[in-house]
Amino acid sequence: MSLVSEIKGYIQRNGIKAIFVHFFEVYLGFLLRFLPGVEGFVLRGWLYKLLLKSMGKGFYVYPGCNILFCHRISIGSRVAINVNGYFDGRGEIEIGDNVMFGPNCILVSCEHGYDRTDIPMWQQEISYRKITVGDDVWVGGNVTIKSGVTVGPGSVIAAGSVVTKDVEPYSIVGGVPARVLDNRQTRRQNFTDMNVHQV
């Protein structure tokens, strides 16, 4: 694959506007990425308001975050991405309202192919699959969410997890790969039942 064919493929997938958006997200993003204090939050907020596909109110990007292919990322209201988050929107990312990401979270919506052994992996086709994170989700620190995953509303993802499959609503998941540990609705019902029996 030549550089020219890579650029042509990029333009075909994303449009010419994406080149300008990518330029600004890389260079302006770099200048603002580590800016501390309130000024950093405000300037990063303005930058992403211009670049993201859509963005609700109250989007907080902590220092050190790298958000790429913004034109394919939608962010709801009251969303926080803690320090050193890495979000790659090539395959599209959609995040609901009231979502918290801990430090060092990675969301990458594309993956290299590796099925063929007759050519190097870097030359194999890349798959692009949307990541969806529902409303009221808490993603702990050092979590990786792989392409094609949907995280249901009200879910909790434990720190250090690698999410490779869809997460049902109100699930508590953890591990590598992440598996269901509990359910918030069931847990609440059990807690309520326990309190009723104690009275």
**Spatial separation of the C-alpha atoms in residues 185 and 183, rounded to whole Å:** 6
Angle value at C-alpha 144, between 101 and 167, nearest 5 degrees: 80
Q: How many C-beta atoms lie closer than 10 Å to residue 71's C-beta?
A: 17
112 counts as catalytic:
yes
* Active-site position among 22, 71, 112, 197: 112
**Catalytic residue positions?**
112
